A and B are shown apart, each in its own frame.
Chain A
Amino acid sequence: MKSFERAALWLIFCLGLLASVGAAHAALQIQVTGGGANRIPIALPAFAAQGATPAPPLTDIISDDLLRTGQFELVDTGGIPVAASVNQVDYAPWLGRGAQVLVVGSAALQPDGRYEVAFRLLDVGSQQQLLSYTFNIDTRQWRATAHKIADLIYQKMTGIPGIFATRIAYIQKQGQFYELRVADADGANPQTVLRSRAPIISPAFSPGGHRIAYVSFETNKPVVFGQDLRTGQRWVAANFKGSNSSPAWAPDGRRLAVTLTLTGNSQIYSVGVHGGDPRRLSHSDGIDTEADYSSDGRWIYFTSDRGGSPQIYRMPASGGPASRVTFQGDYNVSPSVSPDGKYLAYVTRLNGGFNIALLDLANGQVRILTHGGHDESPHFAPNGQMIIYATKIGGRGILSTVTLDGRTRSTLSDPAVDAREPAWGPL
């Protein structure tokens, strides 16, 4: 009994620690603005727990994932008893609170130390079961399982694949060191891929997600490197006279578009992934940089100042005549084309501030999605439903996401570190 009390106190102490750490390192903050006309009301009561389960609860991770999309809203679960089994769900109170769907689940500690996690997605109106899954996992798979459940719910309700189990990359600056990091899509589980005293910029995942290209200044000039995320093997991808930068993987994963300065000015070339064989793709006497392939591999969107101010252009992926894509404003840079090729996210300068804009490529309409004033490096999520970008809060770099309607934003990174240059890996 005594030891149980001690254990309980210890647990409370640890929880307190976690809470205070959580306050200082609050990874995920979600900010929803504007009306939620089309949001799906979902009820996510706590999963029935048998035995001690890891923190945070699965339902916390799942609800953060779903809320970040701007396509869901949480129904208040307070005061409604947790159903003992799926067959005993009382739908009436959930119907009364306007829930469209209800998730019931359980997490049970097994004798071997693993967990059995089960959940069901239920339609409240029809009382039909939409999904039912059971997972047998170890502790290390706790967060991944929550993301998997969120993906399953998201895909069932929207028809679109979820991105919660994908990975992001970014650069973190801490003291004298720059770190290239890869983390879960919600910013959790960050892992350092490269640590350097010299700046690192422009990370880009390969189409398969197992390799990453980036620019390092470790030799006192920008050089493009490639690195295998599984083996750690690292290679020089572009190191020509002058500057080498802005890597973008061709959708087949065999070549990289990079910015080289072989003619003095910055121009876009295609090089082999392991270096060599540069083929010039863009032709101007100004700056051409920031190549981004359309996912069908047909086009390269890029930034050019050939018309007098930096604007976004498009050319065939094998090179050739370019046509201008952005027309509003005198500073439009850093293009990211959506996976379906319908939208372009980019940075626009407005009244001296830099914000993320979204261009509908079919009708030319522009929507300003963010108003941070220091917003940079937009990249589409691999399902095209949100955009990750870098902003600044209190002088420090923060990674954020924003939905295509601009109404839902979340901050991912630890506010105590300086994070920038996000990239989003594949599904």
Chain B
Amino acid sequence: MNRLFLPTLIAAALTLGLSACSSTGTPKAEVQPATPAKTGTAPSGAATSGAAGQNVTGTQTPSYTDERMNPSSPLYHPSVYFAFDRYNVEDKYRPMLQANSNFMLSHPDLKVVVQGNTDARGSREYNLALGQRRAEAVVKVMELMGVPGPRLEAVSFGKEKPRALGDTEKDYAENRRADIVYSDQPGYTEHLQ
């Protein structure tokens, strides 16, 4: 699916001085790809390939067939971070969630799974429930923004799929997170209901 966007992405990446790649500095870890932007498989793979320059013809301003690939779009990093043992969505994430909700409304064929995560401290099952609350909190906000509930699913990875593998407060903070994953992105699985 993402392959369709490759030429534009390549152009964009080159024009932007490979800014897309610099964003792959976030620890990769052994997590499932949460969003294409973060795992960087499509953009970084393309940028290093030899055929890259071919389609760069007259693109002055970057144009994206998919706004989610645009590093300056609020759709680019669709993650909400949480305080220790908390699951309330802070106000600063509302513009990003509004943009994602609008994107959902303009793409009625898409579904979303919100994946909740926690840091490594404490019981695995309690953390699973805590991650679920985080994912559910994000789903609730998107529902209030008009996205129909059946197109949203909140699931939890608890502390089982940490993106940051260390034991520092910074690692913990990175893992207290809920990610929005669209049904056309890697990491999305259509679940039996």
Residues of A bordering B, CB below 8 Å:
176, 199, 201-202, 215, 217, 219-222, 236, 239-243, 245-246, 259, 261, 264-266, 287, 289-290, 303, 310, 331, 333-334, 347, 349, 354, 376-377, 421
- B129 contacts A289, CB within 8 Å? yes
Contacts of B161 in A (CB 8 A): 199, 217
Task: Provide the bound-state CA to CA distance between A376 and B158, in Å.
Answer: 15
Task: Given A265-B136, A287-B133, verify A245-B128 contact (CB < 8 Å).
Answer: yes
Q: How large is the interface on B (under 10, 10 to 19, 20 to 34, 35 or more residues)?
A: 20 to 34
- Choose, from B90-98, B101-109, B149-157, the stretch at the interface: B149-157
- A222 contacts B156, CB within 8 Å? yes
- Can you list 18 residue pairs at the A/B interface with Cβ under 8 Å? A217-B160, A220-B189, A220-B191, A221-B155, A222-B128, A236-B192, A241-B193, A261-B154, A266-B128, A266-B129, A287-B132, A287-B133, A289-B125, A331-B122, A333-B122, A333-B123, A376-B123, A421-B124
Question: What 4 new A-B contacts, CB under 8 Å, besides A176-B30, A242-B132, A287-B130?
Answer: A202-B125, A221-B189, A246-B125, A289-B126
The secondary-structure label for the interface of chain A is strand
- A290 contacts B32, CB within 8 Å? no
Residues of B bordering A, CB below 8 Å:
30, 32, 113, 115, 121-126, 128-130, 132-133, 136, 139-140, 153-158, 160-161, 187-189, 191-193
Q: Which of A176, A201, A236, A310 contacts B160 (CB 8 A)?
A: A201
Task: Provide the bound-state CA to CA distance between A421 and B191, in Å.
Answer: 26
- B157 contacts A377, CB within 8 Å? no
Task: Given A199-B160, A242-B153, verify A265-B123 contact (CB < 8 Å).
Answer: no
Task: Given A220-B188, A221-B113, A241-B193, verify A289-B128 contact (CB < 8 Å).
Answer: yes
Instruction: State the Cβ distance, B189 to closest chain A Cβ, in Å.
Output: 4
Task: Provide the bound-state CA to CA distance between A331 and B84, in Å.
Answer: 13
Instruction: State the Cβ distance, B49 to closest chain A Cβ, in Å.
Output: 26
Contacts of B125 in A (CB 8 A): 201-202, 245-246, 259, 289-290, 303, 333-334
- B189 contacts A266, CB within 8 Å? no
Closest to A267 in B: B129
Instruction: State the Cβ distance, B99 to closest chain A Cβ, in Å.
Output: 23
Instruction: State the Cβ distance, A319 to closest chain B Cβ, in Å.
Output: 18
Q: Which of B130, B157, B192 contacts A217 (CB 8 A)?
A: B157
Instruction: State the Cβ distance, B161 to closest chain A Cβ, in Å.
Output: 7
Contacts of B153 in A (CB 8 A): 241-242
Q: Which of A221, A259, A290 has the most CB of B within 10 A?
A: A221
Q: Which of B121, B155, B191 has the most CB of A within 10 A?
A: B155
- A377 contacts B124, CB within 8 Å? yes
Task: Provide the bound-state CA to CA distance between A334 and B123, in Å.
Answer: 7
Q: Which of A264, A289, A376 contacts B136 (CB 8 A)?
A: A264
Q: Which of A219, A243, A264 has the most CB of B within 10 A?
A: A243
Contacts of B130 in A (CB 8 A): 287
Task: Given A261-B154, A266-B132, verify A240-B193 contact (CB < 8 Å).
Answer: yes
Contacts of B189 in A (CB 8 A): 219-221
Contacts of A303 in B (CB 8 A): 123, 125-126
Closest to B193 in A: A241
Closest to B32 in A: A220
Q: Which of B123, B136, B140 contacts A290 (CB 8 A)?
A: B123
